[in-house]
Structure 1
Amino acid sequence: MHHARRPARRSVRTDAVSRSPLQALEESFLALSAAPCPLTLPAHLVYEAPEQSTLIVDQVRTRLAHPATAPGLREQTWREVVRRAQQLGWPWDTVAVAMTIPVLRRMLAHLARPSHLERAEVEQEALAAVATAVHTVDAGAADVGRELFSAANRAVYRLAYAARRQAAQETEPLAQEAEPRSVHPAWLAESAGPAGYRQAEQLIDTEGDIDEYAVLARAVQARAVDVDEARLIARTRLEGEPMQRLAAERGVSARQLYRHRAAAEQHLTAYLKTQMRQR
């Protein structure tokens, strides 16, 4: 049996709009632990001489991260969790990925993330890498857990590197331009990188008091971006709406919407550069 009864615990939060990808997964994992018949694993996986036969999965994860847990026990626990994920599917695939959350939090806290790369996007990239690795790693290998963490580590560093490289490429053509002056359209600094920041600043400085919505409106009129792209930029960059909310509203994944916005912002930056060359 994989389930055992436990005392009721506080209910988990279900407001999907305000949750980050890691928080959303954490709540799904805790729901499996807080169910009337919570999901369990054999206690001998994390204890040499357990006092009980089974442990609820969140208790196993806590013990897995404890310094006193022997490396051999950790290895056999990871092998069993991944084996169940591969052979049984849900909910064990959720459990396997959620078991990595404590390490992923520490990993992402030390990541040198470019300012224009949103944390939610990095979290989603890490979780996607782990979820893929769970189904492709050799469940009988000695370092299954390390393979999962390595997959996440490679994915987030590739993402951060690509973001830094893109920002550098955007900045390079403007290296000889004057330093930014008094106007600071921060929304473009975040969305289009340094290149878009300087182009927008100079455009606004040339034409006088133009707000960010006016810049977007002109870009739509010039067909540099379409109405949906302008609304996406405005709602997430100017109005601060969570990307997860818009993704649910549009019926797409947050990852897909991040990519859609990145493409729209590249078009917006190109439009601003064109405007500056014409002045």
Structure 2
Amino acid sequence: MAVRSRPLYSTSALQVAQYVFTRSAAEPTNLYLDGADLGADLPAGRLLLMPLRDLLLRPAVSLHTRDVVWRELIRRAREDHSSWLVAAIGMAMPGLRRAVRQLGTSWRSDRDDLESAVAEGFVSALRKVDLHDSSLCARLIDAGRKAGVRQAFQSAGVEAGSWAPFASRSPRPPWGHPDLVLADAVTAGVLSRSEAQLIGATRLEGLQVKDVAAWLGELPNTVAGRRRRAELRLRRAIQSGDLGLGEILQS
């Protein structure tokens, strides 16, 4: 029997938004824009949102036209926190899905949590983005991606059982699991909790240093240097026999 990678009924905010958008944007509907107000790149008249989304993905449509459309979508979403807010999420769904796929390459935790974090970051940015800016949709999607990075970083595999007082202990080497080696390193004072999270997120979960740095508000070189120093400390502890063997550090 095939194993489902996700529950049949997802609680992801993106899944819910896609479901509602698909049904509310189909005829008969009041969710449409007038092409006459959106510039010469788009046909005049009543434009349903799903066909409009397809049009905006075409290279022939200028960035200026896309921004005109998104300014109108954002205005309506700010005024209507139900239908038009869902419509805005649905219009950005291709980009939001792409962000989730990029983050989820090595994702080992709940996929719904990641999707919901991306959706929350998008909505939060929609409420405060400057409508005079350009590339509005890209800005909102990037905000969603950064929120996903935060979720992935916080949920990285270093949240091992040894944080709890009655946790299981790692088996004797050479069978030590990387998560447990990191947790033991924190317990032994070799690494700080934040250093273990950084190594776990970037080495085990596959997050990019630049993405973690963006969430932390630091330069990528600063974060990479901190990780390097922590890894050298961890390597020395493993080589000296203070910690069990792990497969964290790549030779």
* TM superposition score category, shorter chain reference: 0.5 to 0.7
Task: Please say if residues 77 and 84 of structure 2, whose CA atoms lie closer than 8 Å, have aligned partners that are also in contact.
Answer: yes
Using the TM superposition, give the Cα deviation of residue 37 of structure 1 relative to its aligned residue in structure 2, in angstroms: 3.0
In the alignment, which residue of structure 2 is the partner of 1:101?
93
In the alignment, which residue of structure 1 is the partner of 2:102?
110
Q: Which one has the bigger helix percentage?
A: 1
Q: Give deviations 1:18-55, integer Å, cap 9, x for gaps.
A: 56432221110111112423410122466625444120
TM-score by length of 2: 0.57
Q: 1:159 to 1:170 in 2, by over 3 A?
A: farther
User: Share of identical aligned residues, percent?
Assistant: 23
TM-score by length of 1: 0.52
Task: Please say if residues 31 and 84 of structure 2, whose CA atoms lie closer than 8 Å, have aligned partners that are also in contact.
Answer: no
Residue segments in structure 2 that go unaligned for 5+ positions in a row: 1-6, 185-251
In the alignment, which residue of structure 1 is the partner of 2:25?
33
In the alignment, which residue of structure 1 is the partner of 2:60?
68
Residue 149 (structure 2) pairs with residue 154 (structure 1) = no
In the alignment, which residue of structure 2 is the partner of 1:58?
50
Counterpart amino acid of residue 195 in structure 1 = L
Q: Give deviations 1:191-222, integer Å, cap 9, x for gaps.
A: xx9439x99xxxxxxxxxxxxxxxxxxxxxxx
Counterpart amino acid of residue 49 in structure 2 = V
Using the TM superposition, give the Cα deviation of residue 112 of structure 1 relative to its aligned residue in structure 2, in angstroms: 5.1
What CA distance in whole angstroms lies between the structure 1 residues aligned with 2:85 and 2:140?
Answer: 13
Residue 111 (structure 2) pairs with residue 119 (structure 1) = yes
> What secondary structure is seen at the aligned counterpart in 1 of 2:59?
coil
Counterpart amino acid of residue 24 in structure 1 = V
> What secondary structure is seen at the aligned counterpart in 2 of 1:123?
helix
Q: 2:121 aligns with which of 129, 143, 146?
A: 129
What CA distance in whole angstroms lies between the structure 1 residues aligned with 2:41 and 2:92?
Answer: 25
Using the TM superposition, give the Cα deviation of residue 116 of structure 1 relative to its aligned residue in structure 2, in angstroms: 3.0
Q: 1:115 to 1:174 in 2, by over 3 A?
A: farther
Counterpart amino acid of residue 178 in structure 1 = P
What CA distance in whole angstroms lies between the structure 2 residues aligned with 1:35 and 1:154?
Answer: 35
Counterpart amino acid of residue 134 in structure 1 = L
Residue segments in structure 1 that go unaligned for 5+ positions in a row: 1-14, 182-188, 200-279
Q: 1:48 to 1:123 in 2, by over 3 A?
A: same
Counterpart amino acid of residue 51 in structure 2 = Q
Q: CA RMSD in A?
A: 3.6
What CA distance in whole angstroms lies between the structure 1 residues aligned with 2:80 and 2:102?
Answer: 34
